[in-house]
């Protein structure tokens, strides 16, 4: 069981790092040469850029195997908390829904998610190797996750404004905006609550060492043999 989690952290870290390095250049290029409107409304990252398009497709596909974590937790008869299944289900549904629509603003969401996952899973991989990164790193990761949610909400609000201005070529539906905005806002509330409890709520909350945030937007339960960064043999 230990190997399942240890190897999973390594693979997820590597996948996310590669995904970020293959999608971020396209977003930067678009912002520099075409501006914010293009980055939010024109889905060239799927239709014209093969590299970014491929890794966007890989991102969408990766949401299905993530459900395996939920199954694994259930099979181990561990507590399945709300944030875990809520995150996996909503992200899976939204990712697949957005890809079928070629939602232009998704280029932002994919790059941000890859970026946060790169840092987060690398952190978990270090913990699995029995390194003890300083606490400020985990605080930084959670802060980045909160920032991700704020930017996600802002992108949706910009897209909504573009549609209201009559920008007919803005490739995003109002239904998608509502879904995405509700999702990102709910994540922000849940992460802000976690940040307060974990880092600002006093020593009593630090005892829940088995609850770690993973997958960019959810609380992830680490199995009993991996608690507080230490691997214990069954």
Estimate the crossing angle of helix 82-101 against helix 106-128, to 10 degrees.
Answer: 140
More confident residue, 115 or 220: 115
More confident residue, 87 or 188: 188
Chain mean pLDDT for the chain: 83
Let me know if 87 is a catalytic residue: yes
Burial level of 148, CB count in 10 A (0-12/13-18/19+)? buried
pLDDT score of 106: 97
List the catalytic residue out of 87, 88, 117, 220: 87
Are 105 and 204 spatial neighbours (Cβ–Cβ below 8 Å)?
no
Work out the percent of the chain whose per-residue pLDDT is above 90.
56
Predicted confidence (pLDDT) per residue in 149-203, tens digit: 999 999 999 999 999 999 889 999 999 999 999 999 999 998 898 888 888 875 5
Q: Give the E-state strand segments of the chain in sequence order.
A: 211-214, 218-221, 226-227, 230-231
Predicted confidence (pLDDT) per residue in 21-63, tens digit: 999 999 999 999 999 999 999 999 999 999 999 999 999 999 9
């Amino acid at each position: 069981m230990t190997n399942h989690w240890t190897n999973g952290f390594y693979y997820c870290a590597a996948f996310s790092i590669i995904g970020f390095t293959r999608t971020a250049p396209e977003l930067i290029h678009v912002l520099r040469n075409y501006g914010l409107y293009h980055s939010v409304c024109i889905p060239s990252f799927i239709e014209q850029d093969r590299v970014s398009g491929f890794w966007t497709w890989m991102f969408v596909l990766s949401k299905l195997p993530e459900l395996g974590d939920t199954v694994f937790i259930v099979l181990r008869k561990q507590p399945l908390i709300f944030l875990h299944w809520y995150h996996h289900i909503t992200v899976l549904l939204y990712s697949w829904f957005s890809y079928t629509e070629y939602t232009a603003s998704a280029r932002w969401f994919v790059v941000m998610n890859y970026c946060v996952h790169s840092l987060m899973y690398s952190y978990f991989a270090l913990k699995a190797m029995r390194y003890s990164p300083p606490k400020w790193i985990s605080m930084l990761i959670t802060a980045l996750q909160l920032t991700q949610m704020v930017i996600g909400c802002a992108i949706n609000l910009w897209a909504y404004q573009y549609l209201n201005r009559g920008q007919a070529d803005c490739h995003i539906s109002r239904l998608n905006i509502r879904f995405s905005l509700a999702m990102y806002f709910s994540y922000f509330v849940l992460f802000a609550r976690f940040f307060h409890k974990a880092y600002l709520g006093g020593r009593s909350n630090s005892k829940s060492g088995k609850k770690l945030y993973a997958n960019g937007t959810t609380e992830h339960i680490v199995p009993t043999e991996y608690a507080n960064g230490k691997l214990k043999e069954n």
